[in-house]
Amino acid sequence: MKTWLYIVVALLAAAAGFGIYQFGVAPRLAATLADDTAPPPGSEVAAAASVPEFLPEFTLMDLEGEQRSIRGWPGKSMIVNFWATWCAPCRREIPLLRELQHQHADEGFQLVGVAVDFREDVLKYASEIGIDYPVLVGEQDGLDAVTKFGQGSLGFPFTVFTDDQHRIVAFHLGELEQAELDILLEAVRQVNRGELTPAAARTVVGRQLAALPPTEA
């Protein structure tokens, strides 16, 4: 019986609506990890404060039915995108993610989608739209992977950016836009070159994202 997962998915869908509003429509600074200064009470960035320093270990089944660890791309700067087929912002950003992998794979960036959804739905959707980057799929184990990032169920999509040592540089809540992506990728490059620490990069990214003009509704 999958009744329990339908209930969880329904709750996540409701959370996603709130999460996308709070972290996509509200100030862009909420899309990144907080810096070393504690945010004021009620600040949107407070929810990101518990994100771990390194990409946490978890293993899920890929589209081909093989178990794969998220640590299975050593030396790569990871872009880990959590999504679901029922999430409209998730679906909208997939073309941008596909282009990201095509354009930046040679730089050492590796995009991995993590679908927290029913496997049969993910397989069908991935085939229909031609997702050509690695996708890991999980139901309860997918939810367990989400909790490793300390974010509870704030909603989908969310995307984690790491450097080539798998240190988390930024945590983006909500649908990615090209201007945001450009800032986040450059921050990872600077960390990889030793120009910034992850903490310093988060401060820079926060300022740059906050300075972007608001997106149209």
pLDDT of residue 82: 96
Tell me the helices (H) and strands (E) count for the chain, helix number first: 6, 7
What are 14-61's pLDDT values in tens digits? Answer: 444 433 323 332 223 233 333 333 333 322 333 445 678 999 999 999
Name which of 12-21, 60-69, 197-206 the model is least confident about: 12-21
What are 128-142's pLDDT values in tens digits? Answer: 999 999 999 999 999
pLDDT of residue 125: 97
Question: b/e string for 74-108 if b means 16 or more Cβ within 10 A?
Answer: eebbbbbbbbbbbbebbbebbeebbebbeebeeeb
Calpha distance 64→78 (Å, rounded): 21
Percent of the chain's residues with pLDDT above 70 = 74
Between residues 153 and 96, the one the model is more confident about: 96
Query: Does the pLDDT value for residue 216 go beyond 80?
Result: no
Calpha distance 191→156 (Å, rounded): 26
| Average pLDDT in the chain | 81
Between residues 11 and 59, the one the model is more confident about: 59
What are 110-121's pLDDT values in tens digits? Answer: 999 999 999 999
- Over residues 94-101, mean pLDDT: 96
Domains and CATH numbers, the chain: 3-211 (3.40.30.10)
pLDDT of residue 49: 55
Q: Is the dihedral of CA 160, 75, 183, 193 positive or negative?
A: positive
